[in-house]
A and B are shown apart, each in its own frame.
Chain A
Amino acid sequence: MEYELAIVGAGPAGLSASIEAAKAGVKVAVIDENAKPGGQLFKQIHKFFGSKEHRAGVRGIDIGAQLLNEAKDSGVDILLNTTVWGIFDNVLAVHSSNKIQRLEAQRILIATGASENTLAFPGWTLPGVLGAGAAQTMVNLHRVAIGDRVLMVGSGNVGLIVSYQLMQAGAEVVAVVEFLPQIGGYWVHASKITRLGIPILTSHTIKEVTGDGKVEVATVGKVDSNYQIVSGTERNFDVDAVCIAVGLSPAAELAWMCGCEFMYIPELGGHVPVYNEDMETTVPGVYVAGDVAGVEEAATAMIDGAIAGLAAAESLGYLDHNEYEDLKRGKRVSREVFELSRFRFRRMAKERFANKEGRLKQWSKT
């Protein structure tokens, strides 16, 4: 198989990139190991934030469907149930239906997203302890209940949103436990669940989970300023599930494999592949976009994916350079709103890339 642009991952970043590239005339394939495309979008049943151009007010599931249709209409080949298990120069090694094949591409975009972090505590391996994203998958995608009474660990947007969605699916969330003294996610997401009676216990952590072959009791304790559990503050909750929402890390194995340089930036989720304002890594012809390049959100994934698609198209000769620069600037301006106020740290974190030596172009001021 031969394509001009191969995109690994059919989430918001990958699909957005494919649309821009295909519209410019590039022969594009999007490859995804799942049976259904859309990445995390098809579990996001809530309305998104942002402005109209970011599709604000539209539910994630519908944004996913919109992107998918646009990609198909633009003539993008979408290969599902296909795992890219290696990248060797310009060859992607893919595995599908028990067959191993080569896919040659002139440009590659790695848009593989991020994986949930985990938290180890006594009892964390019991059936019934699962990631918050895992709970979201089971409940929203597969429509099965993961428990009747759930404890949520972590008050970032994932923890808050999944708590709300568990309530919508008929479960009872007994509490949200947050290590830090303040809530991690949006305050409106927090208020949506506190007014339903779900307490958010800041400065608390999970001590242990016990049960006979499954989750039965979760023990939570208050932490002091050194983040140690204060003896005597322990509380037990009778639950049958404990969800862990303690952050995401880029799923960047393919980028490691093909030799991209990385930087450790905790604010973006850990080790992130270094990229420039064209979303290109230190390996020529290899781009990254979406959570794999730094955990942010769907809106930024879509914008960065679009830039990567345009950049690939320009480098393949399908877009005039000045036209590309104009389009890119427009996209970066619309992205800026997600790097202000409480998100200023994202822009500051990325400016560290500019200090990287090598052939990376400096990040220019927008």
Chain B
Amino acid sequence: MVENLASSGVISKEELSRLPGVPSQERLKKGPVAVIECAEQIPCNPCETACPKGAIQVGEDINSLPVLDEAKCTGCGLCIPACPGLAIFVVDVTFSETEALLQIPHEFLPLPQKGGIVNCLDREGKVVSLGKIIKVVNPKSYDRTPVVTVAIPKEFAQDIRAITQGEENGNDSYLRKER
């Protein structure tokens, strides 16, 4: 049961640990790996098709939850823009002594720049730390779902799932102009 998720939209750590798309602690310690936070049986399988290593299995009944083969997964991140629910992330806790690298989908303007400092939010939308943008990829094949790589404090590697620069919403957004 995923009661917390169903009533709030926020999946609990306990609910997450039971998902077949979430890698084990041992695998996480070895390097970059996909974390598929998909907890509901809905008809959907683009993640399976997107993985070049065959590390994601949904199967014939496309309502099945995706299963991650952590041995096959290299953390390449191609599954991130493929997921229509934007529910896949790549986590690398081996980046440095104190930092982890997080790859997330980010479909907002302004797109962050390499080297920029951003606010990092947890699943409840609470700002838990700052982060530094390491890379932003937005090729045509991603169909307008840019993937941002951000360096974050290692202790938040399993919490941070969104970033904001504080410019995306509000009166001074360059998205809009008075006419």
Is there any pair of Cβ atoms, one from A and one from B, under 8 angstroms apart in the complex? Answer: yes
Choose one: B40, B46, B122; the contact of A342 (CB below 8 Å).
B40
Contact of B11 with A by CB under 8 A:
yes
- Give B22-48 as 1s and 0s: 1 = Cβ < 8 Å from A's Cβ atoms: 000000000000000111111111100
Contacts of A191 in B (CB 8 A): 5, 9-11, 37, 85, 87, 123, 161
Which residues of chain B (122-167) have a CB below 8 Å from chain A?
122-126, 143-145, 161-162, 164
Contact of A338 with B by CB under 8 A:
yes
- Complexed CA–CA distance, A182 and B9 (Å): 9
Which residues of chain A (148-204) have a CB below 8 Å from chain B?
148, 167-172, 181-183, 186-200, 202
Contact B125 A198 (CB under 8 A): yes
Contact B40 A186 (CB under 8 A): yes
Contact of A49 with B by CB under 8 A:
yes
Interface size on B, residues (CB 8 A): 50
- The segment from A18-26, A52-60, A281-289 found at the interface with B is A52-60
Contact of A340 with B by CB under 8 A:
yes
Which residues of chain A (324-366) have a CB below 8 Å from chain B?
337-338, 340-343
Contacts of A36 in B (CB 8 A): none
- Complexed CA–CA distance, A103 and B22 (Å): 58
Please name the residue on chain A nearest to B45 by beta carbon.
A51
- Complexed CA–CA distance, A211 and B126 (Å): 30
Contact of B176 with A by CB under 8 A:
yes
Contact A342 B42 (CB under 8 A): yes
- Complexed CA–CA distance, A105 and B86 (Å): 45
Contact of B49 with A by CB under 8 A:
yes
Contacts of B117 in A (CB 8 A): none
Tell me, rounded to whole Å, the shortest Cβ–Cβ distance linking A9 to chain B: 24
- Complexed CA–CA distance, A356 and B9 (Å): 40
Contact A168 B40 (CB under 8 A): no
Tell me, rounded to whole Å, the shortest Cβ–Cβ distance linking B28 to chain A: 20
Most B Cβ at <10 Å: residue of A168, A181, A187, A200: A187
Contacts of B102 in A (CB 8 A): none
Contact B6 A183 (CB under 8 A): yes
Tell me, rounded to whole Å, the shortest Cβ–Cβ distance linking B122 to chain A: 7
Contact A195 B43 (CB under 8 A): no
Contact of A235 with B by CB under 8 A:
no
Which residues of chain A (188-234) have a CB below 8 Å from chain B?
188-200, 202
Tell me, rounded to whole Å, the shortest Cβ–Cβ distance linking B109 to chain A: 8
Choose one: A52, A171, A187; the contact of B5 (CB below 8 Å).
A187
Contact A167 B85 (CB under 8 A): no
Choose one: B8, B46, B175; the contact of A200 (CB below 8 Å).
B8
Please name the residue on chain B nearest to A54 by beta carbon.
B43
Please name the residue on chain B nearest to A165 by beta carbon.
B107
Contact of A145 with B by CB under 8 A:
yes
Most B Cβ at <10 Å: residue of A58, A171, A192, A338: A192
Contacts of A102 in B (CB 8 A): none
Given A46-B84, A186-B85, A195-B122: A341 touches B171 (CB 8 Å cut-off): no
Please name the residue on chain A nearest to B167 by beta carbon.
A170
Tell me, rounded to whole Å, the shortest Cβ–Cβ distance linking A158 to chain B: 15
Contact of A127 with B by CB under 8 A:
no
- Give A37-75 as 1s and 0s: 1 = Cβ < 8 Å from B's Cβ atoms: 000000000111111101011110000000000000000
Contact B125 A197 (CB under 8 A): yes
Contact of B96 with A by CB under 8 A:
no
Which residues of chain B (42-59) have a CB below 8 Å from chain A?
42-46, 49-50
Contact of B111 with A by CB under 8 A:
no
- Complexed CA–CA distance, A59 and B92 (Å): 30
- Complexed CA–CA distance, A57 and B145 (Å): 11
Contact B9 A194 (CB under 8 A): yes
Contacts of A341 in B (CB 8 A): 41-43, 63
Contact A195 B123 (CB under 8 A): yes
Given A51-B62, A167-B108: A56 touches B44 (CB 8 Å cut-off): yes
Tell me, rounded to whole Å, the shortest Cβ–Cβ distance linking A129 to chain B: 21
Tell me, rounded to whole Å, the shortest Cβ–Cβ distance linking A66 to chain B: 13
Contact B173 A170 (CB under 8 A): yes
- Complexed CA–CA distance, A336 and B164 (Å): 40
**Subset of 11 A-B contacts with CB under 8 Å:** A51-B62, A56-B45, A170-B170, A187-B11, A192-B86, A194-B8, A194-B124, A196-B162, A196-B164, A341-B42, A341-B63
Given contacts A56-B45, A167-B169, A196-B125, 7 further A-B contacts (CB under 8 A): A51-B46, A148-B171, A187-B11, A194-B125, A197-B124, A197-B126, A343-B43
Give the interface of A toward B (CB within 8 A).
46-52, 54, 56-59, 145, 148, 167-172, 181-183, 186-200, 202, 299, 337-338, 340-343
Give the interface of B toward A (CB within 8 A).
2, 5-11, 37-46, 49-50, 61-63, 82-87, 107-108, 121-126, 143-145, 161-162, 164, 168-171, 173, 175-176
Closest 4 CB pairs of A and B: A188-B85, A197-B125, A190-B9, A170-B175
